[in-house]
Chain A
Amino acid sequence: MNKYYLSALFFFIAFLAISFKTIQSNSYQQAYELKINDFIKSESFLIKTVQECNQLSGTNIDKIKQAIGASRNKMKSADIWLRYLEPLAYKKINSPLPVEWETEVFEKFEKPYKRVGAGLTLAELYLEEENPDKDTLLHLLTQAEKATGSFLHDSIVSKIKTFDHFYFCNRLFLLNLASIYTTGFECPDTALVIPELKVMLSEVNTIYATYNQSFSSQQLSAPYMTLFAACIQFAVNQPERYSHFDHFTFIKDYVNPLFALNQQLIRQYGASSRSNLDYALNKTAASIFDKSLYMGQITKGIFLRVNDEQTLQTIDRLGEMLFFDPILSANNQRSCVSCHDPKQFFTDTLRSTSLQFNEKEFLPRNSPSLLNTPFNHLAMLDGKHHTLQHQGKAVITNPIEMGSNENEVLEKILSCKEYKAGFTKLLKHTPQEKEITLEHIVSALTFYYGKFSNGTAAFDNAMNNKTPVNKEVIEGFNLFMSKSQCASCHFVPQFNGVKPPYIGSEFEVLGTPEDPHYKSLSKDKGRHDVNPATETMNAFRTGTLRNAEKTKPYMHNGVFKTLDEVIEFYNGGGGAGRGLVVENQTLSSDSLRLTKKEKIQLISFIKSLNEEIILEVTPEKLPLSKNKTFNTRKVGGEY
């Protein structure tokens, strides 16, 4: 009898041990499912609340807003997964805009996709409109509920079962901490930005704990956990208002070092990603403020497989000569330097827009600086070109810019012995091409000017704890990230329209005027030329603020001559804020109410983004051609 008891006891214990173990090893997955289910419950409650309202007004609206707030907190608790695991579903849960046209890394070679947004942010914004209607509101919310449900499908849950996804979810989470979570992006009620941040940080901490339990061989390291605890402590002690929050220290002392540790763990554990979201990001970048963080363009072009220094130097030398060589233009009088002068930070700072080929009229658009162009996935202010190499071919053959054509320009270049010998030597690196093509020529050009984008700014050095910046810069940055709303379009770290995970460029409608007195709206249709749609009318690619002090004039048409004018433009709510009719403006038309001191701080911050650019001596002479008439051409061209 005793024996029976003993063995029964033994089996019972074994049973317990086994079940306990399986519970433990699944605790991460369980935490995931629990958080998703909690979020769904809160959405159902919100929907029920709306359904029970007879009309959308007064106290009803307050009740709904409260339920939205509660649901947002549940969303934030799971955001680390939601955003990464199924980005398209996330657009139905928390899209910032009703319609977005997307052209992401891979898709940029296809027609832009229209993504109709839904979810909590749009619902909240909709409630602010005049006479909101119940069905529209419900539609926004039921889509979100359905999309959230998709996170429980096997196809997504299966990704949770191996450790790899975790480090990539976490990387995106950290990048978003640095660039959007503290800025009011996707958070219409700015009073909630920091409270929501606090919820998110503490929930992520519990996710970390269950992860570490379930994946004991690929744990977050002790230094990571300690630093994260300190990060939470820092946030908890910060003021609740996002304009008073110390964004600078938060990123510098916590988020960026956490990012570095996460990158190291990705490499140490050999985490591997199959998600498109990781396509542009580099596993070796040890800082968010390192130019190797992500890649937008391949400046080597057709020479992409060349890695030895000497050959790269040959390409660079050829590119340099070509950059200064007016032989690329039909009349041998214009070169890239005509509009992108290295001495003027690779732009034309002297005019609103540069001279046309005919030397009489001016171009419709301002010449952008070529510095940091490679950090855009789409080139040009309207994103017309997918690659810098396409752009190079197009400008050479554009009748109002350089006016040449493909055969002629190639023949002229190869009539110069030095070019011909140089490119012929390079042919062995492009075995798929039997002869020298325009692709070789433009690739040398992009490689040459691309290298000037490796510069670092005082702000980067401060973020990387190398040399500090002064208080005015720090306050300017904190303003930039909050009250002045700049960071909701100019994203950390390039301060352009490329936000984490850095796979697409954004276009925005600001209502940029034709003239500095706001008499009329700029006639340039912008993105609409490339992708005609209501939302893209007058939309332009968000430019980088790096080197902005040095690259005047500003905006696509060069309408503003100083940074002060630009700040005034934003302070007044863009074109619509000044009374221009801009129905699709994506910039808020309310005044920012910036004080004089705050404007100065903002500009100080922008100045801290000036980069150290090491210029080279201008070539003294250009390669001689067999055709003597070309040999009178001048370095850099004539106009």
Chain B
Amino acid sequence: MKFMIKKEHIAMIVLLMIAVLSCMGPKKVAYDFPSTMNESVQKEYLRQCEKGAVLYEISCSGCHTKKSMLSKKIPDFTADQIYGYEIRRSNKNHENALTAETVTTEELGYILNFLMYKKRSGLLHKGTHVEN
């Protein structure tokens, strides 16, 4: 039996490449730390932001990341929108999506740091501000 490259093989290889590429997951996010932040503090923030990035993906991106066939854009939140624990109650969906049982307080801190320091994507987050 002789090995032959068939059309099907090529199709399979192309499909495989697409699959591998799309599985490579989100590119490493870059951060904008203030230049005045000293290096050891920056290192700690980076550690937290990296955890935050993963947790954002799990708990927030479903509603907040703008996805298209080719790209994913994490919106830029204003400082008001990610002020603190208030965001647990800042809109109707959070009542069920952002409870103590879905995201711990520590994790929420990581996520907020991530959103605060990630490089701007240029996509403004339009959402409700925290109401009282």
Which A residues contact B (CB, under 8 angstroms)? 105-106, 109, 155, 272-276, 279-280, 295, 298, 301-302, 304-305, 386-387, 431-433
Contacts and interface: CB of A to CB of B under 8 A. Distances in A.
A109 B102 contact: no
B132 interface: yes
Interface of B: 50-52, 54-55, 58, 85-86, 88-92, 95, 99-102, 104-105, 107, 110, 131-132
Contacts of B54: 431-432
B100 A155 contact: no
A274 B92 contact: yes
Contacts of A275: 89
Nearest to B95: A272
B55 A432 contact: yes
B118 to A, nearest CB: 15
A273 B95 CA distance: 7
Determine chain B's interface SS by DSSP, over half rule.
helix
B101 A298 contact: yes
A155 B105 contact: no
A155 to B, nearest CB: 7
A295 B55 contact: no
Given A106-B88, A274-B95, A276-B89, A304 B101 contact: yes
Nearest to A155: B132
A433 B51 contact: yes
Nearest to B105: A109
Contacts of B107: 432
A106 B85 contact: yes
B99 to A, nearest CB: 8
A432 B102 contact: no
Contacts of B132: 155
B51 A295 contact: no
11 contacts: A109-B105, A155-B132, A273-B89, A274-B89, A274-B91, A275-B89, A279-B89, A302-B104, A304-B104, A387-B105, A432-B107
B131 A431 contact: no
B100 A298 contact: yes
Contacts of A386: 105
B71 to A, nearest CB: 22
A279 B88 contact: yes
A105 B58 CA distance: 24
B101 A295 contact: yes
A298 B92 contact: no
B89 A431 contact: no
